[in-house]
Amino acid sequence: MREFISKYGLIAVLLALPVFYGVKDLVDDGNLAHLGQNLFQGLSNGSIWALIAVGYTLVYGIIELINFAHGDVFMIGSFVAAGLFGTVGLGLATGVGGLVPGLLLVLVICMATCGALNVMIERVAYRPLRSAPKLAPLITAVGFSFILQNVGLLWVGGSPASVPDLIHAQQDVFTFLGITVQRADLLAIFVTIPLVVAATLFISRSRLGKAMRATAQDPDAARLMGISVDTTISLTFLLGGMLAGAAGLIYALYQTTVWYFQGFQAGLIAFTAAVMGGIGNLRGAVLGGLIIGCIQFISDDRIGPQWTPAIVFAYLVLIMVFRPQGLIGEETREAG
C-alpha cells in the first residue's frame, strides 16, 4: 500500500507541471502545441542528461559511490570537443561530407579522453579508500570535482565561451503538429539512442558486462569466481566516462557554448535523473534524464530559468526523501 502511494505519488508529482500547463494551453490557445514544443525540446536536451545519468548509475550500481566528479568529466569532454574542432579542420563552412567523419573522430577522442580521465580518478581518489567509511570517497569525489572545475576555469576562463556552430543547431528541419524540430534536436536524439542501446547491450550480453553485474551484487563472491574486481570497476568507470565524453561533444554542438560550471549543474541534474529512475538501473537513468529534461524546459519557459535549478533540486529532495528507490528501482533486501 505504501509502495503504491509512493510510486504513483511520484508519478503524479512529475506529471503536475506538464498537466497544469497543458490545461492552461488548452484554455489559452485551444491546442497543445506550446506544451508539445516544451516537451520535445525537453526530450532532446534530456537525452544528454540521460547519457550522463547512465554514467552515474553504472558507478553507483557497482561501488555504491556517488561519483560527484562525473559531471565535471562531462564538462572536460565538452572542452576537449570544442578545442578539437579547429584542430581537425572543422569550421562553419565544412559541409556534411567533411562534418560526419570529422565529428566521428572528435567523438572517439572525447570518449577516449573522458573514459581515461574517469579511470584515472577512480584509481587515484576512490580505490585507496575502498575499505574506508563510505563518506570518505564521496569527499574525494567532491574534491576532484573542484579540481576539474578549476582546470576548466584555467582552460577557458570564467565566462561561457562560444563554440563554432558546426551543425547550425538552431536551423529548423521540419515542423510536425506545431512542433518545430531543429538540427540540434535530431543530433541529440540520434547520437544518444544508439549509444545508450549499445551500452545496455554491452552490459547485458558481454562477458565483461556479466562480470560488472556480478561485482555489483557481491564483490567477494565475484572475486572467488575468478573475476578481477579492480579491472571490472575500472571498466565501469571507463564506460561511464566514455558516455560522458559523448555527452560533452553533443552538448558543445547543441548549446554552442561551453562553461567550466556546466559540469556541476549537469552533474546534479543527471544525478537527479539517475535517482529518479532508481539508481543502479540503466533504463531508469535514461527515463529519468528525459523526464528531467522536460521539467527543465517547462520551467525555463513558463516559470523563469532563474528558478529552474531550485525546481530541479526540489524534485531531487522530494524523490530522495519519499521514494529513494526511484520510479522503477526495486527495494533491496537487507541481509538478515
Q: At its nearest, how many Å lie between other proteins and the CB of residue 263? A: 12
Residue among 44 and 299 whose Cβ is closer to other proteins: 299
How would you label 87-107 residue by residue, b for 16+ Cβ within 10 Å and e otherwise? eeebeeebeeeeeeebbeebb
CB 78 within 8 A of CB 251: yes
Site string (33-72) toward other proteins, x via CB under 8 A: -------------------------------xxx------
| The binder of other proteins chosen from 158, 173, 204, 218 (CB under 8 A) | 158
Q: Does 333 bind other proteins (CB under 8 A)?
A: yes
Q: Among 38-46, 217-225, 246-254, 311-319, which window interacts with other proteins (CB under 8 A)?
A: 311-319
Q: Does 138 bind other proteins (CB under 8 A)?
A: yes
Q: Which of residues 185-204 bind other proteins (CB under 8 A)?
A: none
As a whole number of angstroms, the distance between CA 58 and CA 68 comes to 13
Q: Residue holding cell 535530431?
A: 186
Within 13 Å of residue 9, how many CA atoms lie on the same side as its CB? 14
| The binder of other proteins chosen from 78, 94, 140, 255 (CB under 8 A) | 140
Q: At its nearest, how many Å lie between other proteins and the CB of residue 126? A: 9
Site string (235-274) toward other proteins, x via CB under 8 A: -----------------------------x---x--x---
Q: Among 7-15, 45-53, 140-148, 210-218, which window interacts with other proteins (CB under 8 A)?
A: 140-148
| The binder of other proteins chosen from 125, 242, 269, 327 (CB under 8 A) | 125
CB 78 within 8 A of CB 109: no
Residue among 8 and 322 whose Cβ is closer to other proteins: 322
> Residue 39 has which C-alpha cell?
516537451
CB 281 within 8 A of CB 329: yes
As a whole number of angstroms, the distance between CA 166 and CA 35 comes to 29
DSSP count for the chain of H helices, then E strands: 12, 4
Question: Alpha-carbon dihedral of residues 220, 323, 135, 239, nearest 10 degrees?
Answer: 60
Q: Among 6-14, 102-110, 144-152, 222-230, which window interacts with other proteins (CB under 8 A)?
A: 144-152
| The binder of other proteins chosen from 28, 89, 101, 134 (CB under 8 A) | 134
**Phi, psi of 173, rounded to the nearest 5 degrees:** -100, -50
| The binder of other proteins chosen from 16, 23, 173, 314 (CB under 8 A) | 314
Q: Does 161 bind other proteins (CB under 8 A)?
A: no
Apex CA 100: angle with CA 99 and CA 105, to 5°?
A: 95
Q: Which of 189, 187, 233 is nearest to 212 (CA)?
A: 233
Q: Which residues contact 151 (CB under 8 A, 6 or more apart)?
A: 76
Q: At its nearest, how many Å lie between other proteins and the CB of residue 204? A: 21
| The binder of other proteins chosen from 120, 147, 181, 189 (CB under 8 A) | 147
**Phi, psi of 175, rounded to the nearest 5 degrees:** -125, 135
Residue among 47 and 145 whose Cβ is closer to other proteins: 145
How buried is residue 232: exposed, middle or buried, by Cβ count under 10 Å (0-12/13-18/19+)? buried
Q: At its nearest, how many Å lie between other proteins and the CB of residue 213? A: 18
Q: Does 153 bind other proteins (CB under 8 A)?
A: yes
- Kindly list the residues in this chain that would bind other proteins in the complex (CB under 8 A): 64-66, 124-125, 128-129, 131-140, 142-147, 149-151, 153-154, 158, 264, 268, 271, 306-307, 309-310, 313-314, 316-317, 320-321, 324, 330-331, 333-334, 336
